[in-house]
Amino acid sequence: MYTYTDFDRDFLRARVAEFRDQVARRVDGSLTEDEFKPLRLMNGVYLQLHAYMLRVAIPYGTLRSAQMRKLAEIADRWDKGYGHFTTRQNIQFNWPKLSDVPDMLDALADVDMHAIQTSGNCIRNVTADHFAGATPGEVEDPRITAELIRQWSTDHPEFAYLPRKFKLAVTGTEEDRAVIRFHDIGIRVRQQNGEIGYQVVIGGGLGRTPMIGKVVRDFLPRADLFAYLEAILKVYNLSGRRDNKYKARIKILVHETGVEELKARIEGAFETQKRLLPDLNPDVVNRIHESFAPPAFKETDFDPNTGQTPPLQAFIDTNTHPHKRADHLSVTVSIKPIGGTPGDATSDQMRALADIAETHAYDELRISHEQNVILPHVHRANLPAIYAALRDAGLATANIGLISDIIACPGMDYCALATARSIPIAQQIGEAFSDLDAQHDIGPLKIKISGCINACGHHHVGHIGILGLDRAGVENYQITLGGDGTEDATLGARTGPGFAYDEIVPAVERLIETYLDHRSSPDETFLALYRRLGLAPFKAALYGDTHAKAA
Amino acid sequence: MPRPFAPKIATANHLLEGDVIYFTDPGWSRDHSDAAVAQTVAEADALLARASQEPHLTVGVYLADAALVDGRPAPTHFREAFRTCGPSNYFHGKQAE
Amino acid sequence: MTDQTQIITPEGFAEDRFAETPVPTLEDYRGGVAVFLPVNADPASLAPHFSVLSLIVVPFASSADGRGFSLAAALRAQGYKGHLRARGHILVDQFRAALRSGFNDVEITTTQAARNPEAQWRAVPLGTGYQSRLFAA
Ligand code: HEM
Ligand code: SF4
């Protein structure tokens, strides 16, 4: 894992001091709210409905136990004893006072963490595959590239006041767990004739105009990465729209200009950058490579039957992912207890996770974009002990990838932009399907819920997507079906009119009944069935036969 | 037919604390029912202008619809109702104070 | 600089070295020593004049509009060596980015200068950032 140098640490302290000064200047009137807002956003501070919110970066989702313990301490000392893990590998604290934020940032800096560029119209915290460095089939650990990008994009003088936010994600496998086709720039590490390079995708995004990113380079040699990224950012900064914030993302520029024309402009800027940009500093690059070397994996003889119980087996079946070493696994810890708030962990749970990682899992934790926590490297011999410790902490829910593993944005319970609530819908769906055996019978299913058209809950790429709207002063929920955020990127299709707050959960239940009635075998997933039969049977179940025929 | 004018209150968040506050003209309260009420468009414009004069104390001042219940203002839209109490997933915010 | 504006250099508030130099708009530019370059202009169009130009002024209509930073960097990338000035709504907190993008100084209104006195600008740390370290080949 990357460890900070004195340079990184000095930089963080200087930024905290700067933010402390900015708050003071806001209070004394040197800065107006309009001037202060972009500055506080660039330091992760949002104003929500009931309070400020501090969004802390977890670069490429990787944490050490000491960092997780510090997050727990911050939650207890300045917040309400919990934190919310988000789809962009951040953690959000929902109740800080503006006057406390500088102290919170200093506490974060104690463990090499920060909230820089987690919000605002700048290059955001870069995300990566949550199984990076652990999964089989990886060309290279994508965090090497992600860390290089973090350093390049941090405090970049040219790109801090872009037309709109700018998000990058990196993956190192052909499978896509980083949702690269729905980012402003998606990067896939590739290998060609023994050389490392990148597939580059631009112009993806969700929000009110969801778009799937377009490939602009199939293989960009590694040495050209930053010249190319700078070329994209320069073209976007100078020609992205600034007249309408809903049309300001690069996806709209791609759409309005045409990908071929834009690609030509990018290539033009790239030629100049390639000529001018000096080579990367080999000391920095080597240090980054070394810091992502795998841990010293434990070699032990072990009997896989020791400590085996049916609940443990069920947990292993749902909550683990293969590791590049046969004697190891990656464990996903569900932060989706039945009836709980997706992504919320208490400070005690954070400490339990830190202890487990430290004792049994090489001191490493990850945050996934599906709002869960991952122990990337776990020796199989440690599974019984880990499972027992997770149970004690209330973190052993065996529901990964199932109907109750729901992504939900904060919605109207916290967010100032929301048009409806999303958390209670997730809670109620979890309760309606609380029986884990029934969940297993339903099989893999991704439900994703957003509380407004901004789509922070990724509803467009949910197998079942739910979008909360305000229809004449009443909450109303639209359903989309068949979305997919993986390498088969697909946007969900709308079923028809929305449902009231107390109708939406029964509507989801009808969708599930329809699936169970129509599937050819238990192996046919919800998504596969939808692809085979389309909307019709689901519409019939939602709105009745007459409506389905008319539509 | 144009919709009849709904009474308005001015509300914001506290600059340093971040919590929801209501303009009592002059001054601010944490309690919706203390808010000063505007009964006409002209009164509402004037209320917003006066409420906006303390940028060192407030963020994001705006007008919200209200209904008079026993002579005191109460929220009409569900968003404003949430702002008077707090989130629905935890007993936090104003409902716990 | 006019009576209504203030020049700020890395050393602090300063007199305008170009107080006597007329700065025509791009439309009125006829190959002289100074020009006002709007942010939607193509920087390459000025390249033939770089050898005679000694002042280019780039406007910042709002502190949220960061086009000027990329425009400055593009002018430097294409070989402009003369004086580059950022004029308009530039925050103290953007001073470092402005200098690092290639500007020599900034010009703000005296109203803003009253809110943001010299001490605030002088307190800005001008040390180098990540980029110069990352690309120090
Ligand atoms: C204070 C709360 C939040 C606010 C005000 C907010 C605001 C927004 C806005 C305005 C957009 C649309 C951007 C556009 O299309 O131009 C957006 C998109 C997005 N947000 Fe949030 N958000 C919040 C919380 C969250 C949370 C909690 C998550 C993670 C769970 C999240 C993740 C995302 C993602 C993944 C997108 C869509 C992808 C994209 O097109 O960039 N946001 N957000
Ligand atoms: S989708 Fe809308 S309601 Fe949900 S967090 Fe994003 S902006 Fe807020």
pLDDT of residue B83: 97
Q: ∠A538-A542-A547 over CA atoms, to 5°? A: 95
**Which pLDDT score, from 0 to 100, does residue C44 have?**
87
Residues A106-122 have pLDDT tens digits of 999 999 999 999 999 99
Cβ A450 under 6 angstroms from ligand 2: yes
Please choose, from the candidates B96, B80, B68, B67, the residue with its C-alpha nearest in 3D space to the C-alpha of residue B11: B80
pLDDT band of residue C6 (cuts 50, 70, 90) is very high
Cβ-based contacts under 8 A for chains A and B: 75
pLDDT at C2: 64
Calculate how close chain C gets to A323, using CA atoms only, in Å: 32
Q: What is the CA radius of gyration of chain B?
A: 13
Amino acid code (one letter) for A550:
A
Flag whether residue A102 sits within 8 Å of chain B, measured between CB atoms.
no
Q: Is B62 on the interface with A (CB under 8 A)?
A: no
- Is A418 a pocket residue for ligand 2 (Cβ < 6 Å)? yes
Contacts of B79 in chain A (CB under 8 A): 49, 412, 418, 470
Name the band, by pLDDT with cuts 50, 70 and 90, for residue A545: low
Closest atom of ligand 2 to A451 CA is 3
pLDDT for residue A18: 94
- Taking the CB of residue A550, how many other CB atoms lie within 10 A of it? 8
Interface residue of C63, C70, C118, C120 to substitute, partner A, most A CBs within 10 Å: C70
> For chain A, what percent of residues have pLDDT higher than 90?
89
CA distance C102 to chain A (A): 10
Chain C residue numbers touching A148 (CB-CB < 8 A): 134
Residue type for position A85: F
Query: What span, in angstroms and rounded, lies between the C-alpha atoms of B45 and B48?
Result: 5
Q: Is A33 exposed, middle or buried (0-12, 13-18, 19+ CB in 10 A)?
A: middle
Beta-sheet strand order (sheet of A82-85): A45-47, A52-57, A90-93, A82-85, A344-346
Category of A392 on φ-ψ map: left (φ > 0), alpha (ψ -120 to 50) or beta = alpha
A456 in contact with ligand 2, CB cutoff 6 A: yes
* pLDDT tens digits, B46-91: 999 999 999 999 999 999 999 999 999 999 999 999 999 999 999 9
**How many of the other CB atoms lie within 10 Å of CB of A529?**
20
The answer to whether residue A548 scores a pLDDT higher than 50 is no
Q: Is A96 within 8 Å of chain B by CB?
A: yes
Residue C124, both tokens: 């800005």
Tell me if residue B8 falls in helix, strand or coil.
strand
* CA distance linking residue C135 with residue C137, whole number of Å: 5
- Res A33: pLDDT: 94
Helix crossing, A142-153 with A225-239: angle to 10°?
50
Judged against a pLDDT cut of 60, whether residue A547 lies above it is answered with no
Helix (H) or strand (E) holding A264: helix A259-276
Residue A376 has pLDDT above 80, yes or no: yes
CB contact under 8 A, A52 and B15: no
Centre of ligand 1 from the C-alpha of residue A88, in Å = 9
Distance of alpha carbon A385 from alpha carbon A378, whole angstroms: 11
Q: Does the beta-carbon distance from B59 to A49 stay under 8 Å?
A: no
The residue in chain A having the minimum alpha-carbon distance to the alpha carbon of residue C135 is A280
Residue C65: which of A151, A158, A161 has the nearest Cβ? A161
Half-sphere exposure at residue A523, Cβ-oriented, CA atoms within 13 angstroms: 0
Contact A29 B17 (CB under 8 A): no
Judge if the beta carbon of residue A456 lies within 6 A of ligand 1: yes
What residues in B contact A474, CB-CB < 8 Å? 78
Taking an 8 Å cut-off on Cβ atoms, the answer to whether C123 and A21 are in contact is yes
Chains contacting A (3 or more CB pairs within 8 Å):
B, C
**Domains along the sequence of chain A with CATH:** 6-109 (3.90.480.20), 140-279 (3.30.413.10), 310-392 (3.30.70.3340), 407-550 (3.30.413.10)
C-beta of A455 in contact with ligand 1 (< 6 A): yes
Residues paired with B75 in a beta bridge: B66
The HSE-up count of residue A440 (CA atoms within 13 Å, CB side) is: 10
Across the interface, whether the CB atoms of A423 and B87 are under 8 A apart is answered yes
Q: Using one digit for the tens of pLDDT, what is the confidence trace for A147-183?
A: 999 999 999 999 999 999 999 999 999 989 998 999 9
- Greatest C-alpha distance within chain A: 69
On chain A, the residues whose CB falls within 8 A of the CB of C69 are: 157-161, 237
Contact A368, A332 (CB under 8 A): yes
Rounded to whole angstroms, what are the CA distances from A137 to A173, A317, A373, B63, C94? Answer: 6, 20, 22, 56, 44
Between C136 and C2, the more confident residue is C136
Q: Which chains touch B (3 or more CB pairs under 8 A)?
A: A
pLDDT in tens, A311-343: 999 999 999 999 999 999 999 999 999 999 999
Residues present in chain B in total? 97
pLDDT average, residue stretch C88-110: 96
User: B43 burial class (0-12, 13-18, 19+ CB within 10 angstroms)?
Assistant: middle
| A47:B18 CB<8 A | yes
CA of A343 to the centre of ligand 2 (A): 15
- Give the model confidence (pLDDT) of A192-250 as tens digits: 999 999 999 999 998 889 999 999 999 999 999 999 999 999 999 999 999 998 999 99
The residues of A whose Cβ lies within 8 A of any Cβ of C are 7, 11, 14, 18, 21-22, 25, 29-31, 35, 38-39, 121, 148, 151-152, 154-162, 226, 233-234, 237-238, 242, 272-273, 276-282, 284
The reply to whether residue C120 touches residue A14, judged by beta carbons under 8 angstroms, is no
Q: What is the DSSP letter of B70?
A: T
Banded model confidence at residue A489, pLDDT cuts 50, 70, 90: confident
List pLDDT tens digits, range A463-476. 999 999 999 999 99
Q: What is the pLDDT of residues C104-127, one digit of tens each?
A: 999 999 999 999 999 999 999 887
Cβ pair A158:C64 closer than 8 A: no
A and B make contact (3+ CB pairs below 8 Å): yes
Q: Does B20 touch chain A (CB under 8 A)?
A: yes
Q: Decide if B51 contacts B10 (C-beta within 8 A).
A: yes
Ligand that lies nearest to the alpha carbon of residue A449, given by its number in the listed order: 2
Give C136's pLDDT tier (boundaries 50, 70, 90).
confident
Summarised one tens digit per residue, pLDDT across range A15-48 is 999 999 999 999 999 999 999 999 999 999 999 9
Of A53, A456, A460, the one to substitute when testing ligand 1's pocket (max ligand atoms within 8 A of C-beta) is A456
B residues 24-53 closer than 8 Å to A (CB) = none
Q: Which residue of A has its CA nearest to B87?
A: A413
Residue nearest (by alpha carbon) to ligand 2 atom 2? A452
**How does pLDDT run across A280-290, given as a tens digit for each residue?**
998 999 999 99
Query: Where do the domains of chain B lie?
Result: 8-96
Q: Please give the pLDDT value at position C1.
A: 54
Identify whether A294 is preceded by a cis peptide bond (ω within 30 of 0): no
Please tell me whether the interface predicted TM-score (ipTM) of this complex is above 0.90: yes
- pLDDT at A550 (0 to 100): 42
Q: What is the mean pLDDT of chain A?
A: 94
Query: pLDDT tens-digit profile of B24-34?
Result: 999 999 999 99
pLDDT score recorded for residue A494: 96
Instruction: Write down the pLDDT at residue A549.
Output: 44
pLDDT at A369: 86
Structure tokens at A137: 């089939």
Mutation site for A-interface testing, chosen from B21, B77, B80, B92 by largest number of A Cβ within 10 Å: B92
Domains, chain C: 5-135 (3.40.50)
A47 closest CB neighbour out of B59, B88, B93? B59
Q: A284 vs C123: CB contact, 8 Å cut-off? A: no
pLDDT at position C130: 93
